Amino acid sequence: MASESGATHGRGLFVTLDGPSGVGKTTVSTLLGEQLASQGVPTLVTATPSPSSIGELARHGTHEFHGPSLTCLVAADRYHQANIMISPAVEQGTTVVCDRFVPSSLVLDPLDGIERGFVWDIYRKILVPDIAIVLMGDASLCATRVANRGRFSRFHGSDYEDHRREREYFTEALAFLRGAGYPAHEYDIGRATAREVAAGLAHFILAIKDGRS
C-alpha cells in the first residue's frame, strides 16, 4: 500500500482522504501519491485500518466486532499508526497521504449506533492533519461502483438507500468538523476520472505546501 520517494527538506504535510464507500478514496490516494512524487514531493501513501496486526483485526473483523468495541479497535490502530508511521515520516519531510482517518470514524461509528461525541472524545489526542479532504460524490454513482467492485465489510452499502444515508452522514460530519476548527475541505468529484480528481487535489496540496515554505 505504501509508496515512498525522494529526499527530505523540512516538515512534510499530513493529508487525509475520506468520503463515502465507492467515491474513489483508495484509487485516488494511489494516483495522488504518484502525482506528488512526480513533482518531486517525497510521499508516502497509507491507509486506515493500517497494515499492522491491530489494523488487520479491524479491517477483517467488521462482522465480529460491533459498536464501541469496533470504535476502540479502530482508534487503537489509528493512534498506533500515527505514532509509529505517520508522525515520524512527516517530521522527516515526507508528505503522507492517508486513505481514511478520523472523519470516516465520525460517519461509520454513528452508522453503527455510536454517539458522535464519544467518537470525537476518543480521538482528542490524535494527530490533526494539515489537510483533511472529504471526497463527495453522487450516491447512486458510489452505489454502482461498490456493486461492481465488491463489498468487503458490512459498512459497504448494498443499495442506494445505504449510500444516500452514508453521504448524508458525511455532510453532517463536514459541518461538525468545520465547526470544531478541523481543516476539512469538501471536494466534489462530479463526473471526473480518478486521475482528474488526483490532479485537482495535487494542485490544491502543492499550493498549500508552497504557501508554507
Ligand X SMILES: Nc1ncnc2c1ncn2[C@@H]1O[C@H](COP(=O)(O)OP(=O)(O)O)[C@@H](O)[C@H]1O
Using CB under 6 A as the criterion, which residues of the chain lie in contact with ligand TYD when the complex forms?
Answer: 26, 48-49, 58-59, 62, 70, 74, 100, 104-105, 108, 152-153, 155-156
Is the CB of residue 71 less than 8 Å from the CB of residue 112?
Answer: yes
152 versus 160: smaller Cβ distance to ligand TYD: 152
String marking each residue 123-162 x if it binds ligand X according to CB under 6 A = ----------------------x---x-------------
Is the CB of residue 48 less than 8 Å from the CB of residue 25?
Answer: no
Phi, psi of 187, deg, nearest 5? -130, 110
118 versus 152: smaller Cβ distance to ligand X: 152
C-alpha cell at 174: 463536514
C-alpha cell at 169: 452522514
27 binds, among ligand X, ligand TYD, none (CB under 5 to 8 A by kind): ligand X
118 versus 152: smaller Cβ distance to ligand TYD: 152
194 binds, among ligand TYD, ligand X, none (CB under 5 to 8 A by kind): ligand X
In angstroms, what is the minimal distance from the CB of 47 to ligand TYD?
Answer: 6
In angstroms, what is the minimal distance from the CB of 54 to ligand TYD?
Answer: 12
C-alpha cell at 77: 490502530
Q: Which of 44, 41, 73, 38 is nearest to 59 (CA)?
A: 73
Q: Which of 12, 14, 15, 22 binds ligand X (CB under 6 A)?
A: 22
Using alpha carbons only, give the angle 183, 38, 40 rounded to the nearest 5 degrees: 75
Q: Which of 88, 79, 81, 85 is nearest to 125 (CA)?
A: 79
In angstroms, what is the minimal distance from the CB of 59 to ligand TYD?
Answer: 5
67 vs 88: CA distance, rounded Å: 31
5 versus 153: smaller Cβ distance to ligand TYD: 153
- 36 contacts: CB under 8 Å, gap ≥ 6: 43, 95, 97, 202, 205, 206
Which residues contribute to the site for ligand X (CB under 6 A)? 21-27, 145, 149, 189, 192-194, 197
